[in-house]
């Protein structure tokens, strides 16, 4: 099976239970949150069954992820102190963002999140007893008090607010470098996602927005966010910045944007989408 010929968007089928027997398999090898890569393989690919056996690295746990074009694929957690086998290297998930396509990033992000979730839920948070994996769904259950744990996902919103041809961009107080981005924040218990968008914008920069429009989402496994992207329009109010979060904020014309997020993140996609629509409107207006 040639990995590079696979279209993951269509050929990956998530699953819980591996087939009873199989003659080939793929392996995403994870050590201490880093992913193993063959030094000669560009772009990245998982190990095949022979390679995985031959490397003989001490495994902590194996997690079935599903099948890719019918071939089972596993996340293999190995000893965090494992040495890099000759000809291979461990790299961070961050490095995948700019070097692989989005579907590969999502698959490897899935593997990393599942490994972390199992590692952090060996014991029940309520009674402290051992938990075991369910064979029915992606969950762990406490053998003693029967509390069930599902993989943790943290939904967050990200919003591109515009005022005519200008975009609201802000500099995070904790970010290094001179870098502006769209506003973002975590959904709180009891909130609808739309309420989160209004609250976050008001909390961070003190203005009211209107006409929210859902744009799309991105799995953001640092460590387990799901980013939900929106466009919105300025309604009223003046900037009042939340000092602990926002160092600076401003309205920037789409032709004169500051240092902004790259196109690998949904923040970059939102800004790019706004620019394209603003340019299209201008062309229409000139006719
Ligand atoms: Zn328990």
DSSP lists the bridge partners of residue 166 as 163, 253
Residues 187 and 281 in one domain: yes
Residues 159 and 256 in one domain: yes
Residues 107 and 127 in one domain: no
Structural domain ending residue among the three candidates 101, 120, 139:
120
In this prediction, residue 287 carries a pLDDT of 45
> Residue 274: is its pLDDT beyond 60?
yes
The count of structural domains within the chain is 3
Residues 250 and 192 in one domain: yes
Residues 142 and 207 in one domain: no
Residues 187 and 74 in one domain: no
3-state SS track over the chain: CCHHHCCHHHHEEECCCCCCCCCCCEEEEEECCEEEEECCCCCCCCEEHHHHHHHCCCEEEEEEEEEECCEEEEEEEECCCCCCCCCEEEECHHHHHHHCCHHHHHHHHHHHHHHHHHHHCCECCCCCCEEEECCCCCCEEECCCCCEECCCCEEEEEEEEEECCEEEEEEECCCCCCCCECEEEECCCCCCHHHHHHHHHHHHHCCEEEEEEEEEEEEECCCCEEEEEEEEEEEECCCCCCCCCEEEEEEEECCCCCCCCCCCCHHHHHHHHHHHHHHHHHHHHHC
Q: Give dist(CA 190, CA 199) in Å, integer.
A: 13
Q: Are 88 and 39 in contact (CB under 8 A)?
A: yes
Q: Give dist(CA 95, CA 100) in Å, integer.
A: 9
- Residue 261's pLDDT band (boundaries 50, 70, 90)? confident
Residues 281 and 164 in one domain: yes
> Residue 117: is its pLDDT beyond 70?
yes
Digit-coded pLDDT (tens) for 10-26? 999 999 999 999 999 99
Residues 128 and 109 in one domain: no
Residues 140 and 192 in one domain: no
In this prediction, residue 285 carries a pLDDT of 75
Going from the Cα of 147 to the center of ligand 1, the distance in angstroms, rounded, reads 6
CATH at 90: 3.90.79
Going from the Cα of 139 to the center of ligand 1, the distance in angstroms, rounded, reads 14
- Of the chain, the percentage scoring pLDDT greater than 90 comes to 84
Structural domain of 235: 154-286
> Residue 199: is its pLDDT beyond 70?
yes
Residues 83 and 193 in one domain: no
Structural domain ending residue among the three candidates 99, 120, 141:
120
- Of the chain, the percentage scoring pLDDT greater than 70 comes to 99
Mean pLDDT over each residue of the chain, to the nearest integer: 94
| Cα torsion through 11, 223, 49, 80, rounded to 10 | 180
Using CA atoms, how far residue 203 sits from 55, 226, 243, in Å, is: 52, 21, 10
- Residue 1's pLDDT band (boundaries 50, 70, 90)? confident
CATH at 175: 3.90.79.10
Structural domain ending residue among the three candidates 151, 171, 204:
151
In this prediction, residue 8 carries a pLDDT of 94
Digit-coded pLDDT (tens) for 54-71? 998 999 999 999 999 999
> Residue 88: is its pLDDT beyond 60?
yes
Q: Who has greater pLDDT, 98 or 216? A: 216
Going from the Cα of 153 to the center of ligand 1, the distance in angstroms, rounded, reads 21
- Residue 286's pLDDT band (boundaries 50, 70, 90)? low
Going from the Cα of 123 to the center of ligand 1, the distance in angstroms, rounded, reads 8
Going from the Cα of 118 to the center of ligand 1, the distance in angstroms, rounded, reads 15
Residues 164 and 101 in one domain: no
Going from the Cα of 142 to the center of ligand 1, the distance in angstroms, rounded, reads 5
Going from the Cα of 131 to the center of ligand 1, the distance in angstroms, rounded, reads 8
Going from the Cα of 173 to the center of ligand 1, the distance in angstroms, rounded, reads 40
In this prediction, residue 178 carries a pLDDT of 84
Residues 125 and 110 in one domain: no
In this prediction, residue 9 carries a pLDDT of 92
DSSP lists the bridge partners of residue 140 as 133, 149
In this prediction, residue 42 carries a pLDDT of 78
> Residue 173: is its pLDDT beyond 50?
yes
Q: Give dist(CA 138, CA 130) in Å, integer.
A: 17
Going from the Cα of 223 to the center of ligand 1, the distance in angstroms, rounded, reads 25
């Amino acid at each position: 099976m040639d990995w590079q010929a696979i279209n993951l968007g269509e050929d990956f089928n998530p699953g819980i239970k591996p087939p009873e027997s199989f003659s080939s398999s793929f392996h995403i090898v994870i050590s201490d949150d880093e992913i193993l890569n063959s030094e000669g393989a560009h772009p990245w690919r998982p190990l095949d069954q022979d390679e995985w056996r031959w490397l003989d690295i001490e495994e902590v746990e194996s997690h079935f992820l599903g099948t890719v074009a019918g071939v089972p694929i596993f996340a293999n957690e190995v000893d965090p102190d494992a040495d890099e086998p000759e000809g291979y290297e461990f790299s961070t998930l961050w490095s995948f963002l700019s070097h692989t396509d989005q579907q590969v990033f999502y698959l490897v992000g899935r593997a990393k999140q599942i490994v972390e979730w199992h590692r952090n839920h060996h014991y029940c948070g309520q009674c402290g007893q051992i938990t075991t994996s369910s064979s029915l769904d992606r969950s762990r259950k406490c053998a003693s008090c029967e509390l069930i744990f599902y993989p943790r996902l943290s939904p967050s919103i990200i919003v591109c607010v515009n005022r005519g041809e200008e975009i609201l961009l802000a500099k995070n107080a904790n970010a290094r470098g001179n870098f502006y981005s769209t506003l973002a924040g975590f959904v709180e218990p009891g909130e609808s996602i739309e309420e989160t968008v209004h609250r976050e914008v008001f909390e961070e920069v003190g203005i009211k927005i209107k006409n929210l429009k859902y744009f799309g989402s991105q799995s953001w496994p640092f460590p387990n966010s799901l980013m939900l992207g929106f466009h919105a329009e300025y309604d009223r109010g003046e900037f009042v910045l939340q000092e602990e979060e926002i160092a600076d904020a401003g309205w920037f014309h789409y032709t004169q944007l500051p240092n902004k997020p790259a196109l690998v993140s949904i923040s970059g996609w939102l800004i790019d989408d706004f620019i394209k629509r603003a340019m299209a409107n201008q062309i229409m207006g000139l006719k």
